[in-house]
A and B are shown apart, each in its own frame.
Chain A
Amino acid sequence: MPGALQDCEVLVVGGGNAALCAALSARERGASVTLLESAPKAFRGGNSSHTRNLRCMHDAPTDLLTDAYPEQEYYGDLWRVTGGQTDEALARLTIRDSAACTRWMKAYGVRFQPALGGTLHLGRTNAFFLGGGKALVNEYYAAAQRLGIQVHYDAEVVDLAIDDGAFDHAVVCAGGEKRRIAARALVVASGGFESNLAWLRQAWGPAADNFLIRGTRYNMGKVLKVLIDRDAEKIGDPTQCHAVAIDARAPKFDGGIVTRIDCVSLGIVVNRDGERFYDEGEDFWPKRYAIWGRLVAQQPEQIAYCIIDSRAVGRFMPSVFPPFGADSIEGLASQLNLPAERVIETVRAFNQAVRPGRFDHAVLDDCRTRGLSPEKTHWARAIDAPPYYGYPLRPGITFTYLGVKVNERANVLMKNGSPSNIYAAGEIMAGNILGKGYLAGFGMTIGTVFGRIAGQEAAIHARR
């Protein structure tokens, strides 16, 4: 650890994008800043290391983004995915401020690139980081070092001393010792609680044991819990999380982007009993992948299997795990440990229900089933061209929605209405704006916008 823990003007808890944006912004305003990252250096950056872009408002083409993405359309997209569960004032603030983000990021060394292969539909709305989120995090840490921000790794905050909304000091566990660090203002940007398996079990019951965590293993939600216990007003429901269907063979933590399975809309999905349970072709996959985590979580033993035939090969982003494959449905079922007769019957019934149509994966085509429950409403083609392939699916949690309530100055609101010197940014407050659902790249937008606001406001408060 470089130097001992020292008291400072602004203490930042967390080590991902939001925390770094807050630390850099507070330093810009002249404050002395200490940042505490609970992870070791090799795993610094939290879930930001797995991200790749941020969603930006713009009224005209920019050096990074095509066309325009005006506030109204952006807010409309957000309203749709959240079903209206958003604080409009905070949401519009985030959207407007997103327009200035990329310039600020570039000044700290973050580099951008054109939309990645397979994500061309995001080229208008999302700015992609060259090398992805870990490259971005690396640049911010390098900038933090240049600017004299004290960064400590393996430094876990286990308690906060808060008296009537006024933060005094944090208790930090570092190097096997508990230490106090006092500051005039506190920024919490320590993420959600999705890595805390015990907490997930509390919220979800035993089903949670079968969930995989797509990101960091260090989002234990300790600071979130302390804040809630110390009478910070909370927002969101602990049973809500963003979950997608990922390959069941993925590691428990940190599998990230490569564990996704992108062929659901090209095939059928059956559960442990060999039965279909949802319309695989309801809408374009980028608009539907986020509901499949929950769908799989609701199946027995939280597992499902996507089955395709050889016609689907090459039409989706390759997966990191090779599929199970066989020349017959029966053979595939036995490889997947599924009841063969049930799967054969499911596929037979599906194939029989497929109506003739013109297959086109680029549009909502007219290939559908009739008389099936549930129907497959687009891209339904008989599964009859061997070899057949299967991918096992499990719910993969991306992030949790439970957080602390903030105002437009990123100030954490206390239940008794007392003013506080505590500010929040990133996943720990994202629930204010994103009550449910998700928009690609919006987490990084919230983190960047509110990280900057929190850092500035904390510095202003600390130096008043």
Chain B
Amino acid sequence: MHVDDPTADGANDPLVNGERIMRICNACRYCEGYCAVFPAMERRLQFTRSDLNYLANLCHDCGECYYACQYSPPHEFNVNVPKSFAEIRARTYRQYAWPAPLAAMFARNGLAVSLVLALMLVLALSAATLVLGKDLVAATPDPAGDFYRFMPHRVMAGVLGGVFLFVALALAMGFIRFWRDMGESLSEFTRPDALRRALGDVLTLKYLDGKGAGCTYPDERRSQARRWFHHLTFYGFALCFAATVVGTIYHYAFGWKAPYGYLSLPVVLGTSGGVGLLIGPAGLLWLKLRSDPQTSDPGQLGMDVAFIALLFATSLSGLALLALRDSSVCGLLLVVHLGVVSALFLTLPYGKAVHGIYRSAALVRCALEKSQPMPDAGLD
């Protein structure tokens, strides 16, 4: 897939265009101080498909290299690393998806489909509770806010547990497919130095930080906004997940049954996480809608918005359930929340969420590479 003419744009295959651009970048190297992508590029003289898949997932889409590029359009070399890599990433998401037939979901995981899925799950859960003989709209509100009135714990745990196990398996398989494509063995992944380094990069979003200056998103001016909104989203999600885990431990290990008090650990974790998961996704959406169309792949907007919307809806419905659990709409809110959460989880392996898996794995591989001496790639 060599293109002799660097002005040819390899319009149909993002990998052909990506290879063309990397060859230009590797002969220039002005951007090597920005992020992990360019030093990783400099270790190579040629760019295979798996090299490009790796570099594209290592890219955090900060946009700095586009604005700094002496070859960005309208220059005839038409170098646009953020856009090219976004297109390659979208391709890898489909390529690594497991089970493979479900990769087709990436093509239609827009906002509408996600919301319809959530609605269908809500209806299915409602139907299930009705079949079980429960009345969703309680005539008499329960001041204790016991939601197992509407759905027995084992049903809830069974449905969500099953969803969770499937999702965990699908994500793990995606990771394995990515890692194999990189040509790395699984034992390499567990090297503690590299893992520690990559974990630090992930948890601090080092490559959106620009050494303190932030990144050029949503436009040419540098800002920390995206990094902070992402932190709120990620840590908000993590806290909500932790709340569920703590609740599960309470239930099975100690026999402490929900609902828990407002100052209990699961509720405090879930509430604080939920607030982050409202502000974070809202902020990310606000930034996304203002982002420079030059550096983004318009084909992915639907996928991004759907993920953001489900995260927001998860948090909103969860907080509403907490606030109104002693009211007559408790049962309704419960099935809505569980439906939205199920939709969020079921779409995780087939939507924007996978960026976290592949980017983290790329950072581990980058850390592994850094521990190796620089190969003979242009430096005598």
Contacts and interface: CB of A to CB of B under 8 A. Distances in A.
Decide whether A and B are members of one complex. Answer: yes
Interface of A: 42-43, 49-50, 52, 111, 113-114, 116-118, 128, 130-135, 138, 142, 251, 254, 256-258, 260, 313-322, 361-362
Interface string B184-196: 0000000000000
Given A134-B69, A314-B45, A52 B74 contact: no
Given A116-B30, A131-B65, A257-B27, A317 B378 contact: yes
A318 B380 contact: no
A335 B114 CA distance: 56
Given A114-B33, A314-B45, A321-B6, A42 B74 contact: yes
A130 B34 contact: yes
B67 A138 contact: yes
A251 B7 contact: yes
Contacts, number: 104
A254 B24 CA distance: 13
B323 to A, nearest CB: 45
Contacts of A362: 380
Interface string B213-237: 1000000110000000000000000
Interface SS majority for chain A: loop
Give the contact-size bracket for chain B.
35 or more
Contacts of A319: 27
A256 B380 contact: no
A113 B2 CA distance: 32
In this complex, the member of A113, A314, A320 whose beta carbon has the largest number of chain B beta carbons within 10 angstroms is: A320
5 contacts: A118-B378, A134-B67, A254-B70, A256-B70, A258-B77
Interface SS majority for chain B: loop
B139 interface: no
A258 B213 contact: no
B11 interface: no
Interface of B: 2, 4, 6-7, 23-24, 26-34, 39, 42, 45, 64-65, 67-71, 73-77, 213, 220-221, 376-380
A320 B21 CA distance: 9
Nearest to A313: B45
A318 B45 contact: yes
Contacts of B33: 113-114, 128, 130-131
Given A131-B34, A131-B65, A322-B4, A116 B29 contact: yes
- Chain A to chain B: the 3 pairs with minimum beta-carbon distance, closest first: A132-B30, A113-B33, A131-B68
Given A258-B27, A314-B378, A322-B2, A135 B68 contact: yes
Contacts of A142: 220-221
B68 to A, nearest CB: 3
Contacts of B32: 113, 116-117
A419 B377 CA distance: 56
B31 A131 contact: yes
Contact of A134 (B68, B73, B77): B68
Given A114-B33, A131-B64, A251-B7, A318 B70 contact: no
B30 A52 contact: yes
Contacts of B220: 138, 142
Contacts of B29: 116-118
A117 B27 CA distance: 11
Nearest to B216: A138
B45 A321 contact: no
B1 to A, nearest CB: 12
Contacts of A318: 23, 26-27, 45, 377-378
B28 A135 contact: no
B18 to A, nearest CB: 15
A117 B42 CA distance: 8
Contacts of A321: 4, 6
Contact of B378 (A134, A257, A316): A316
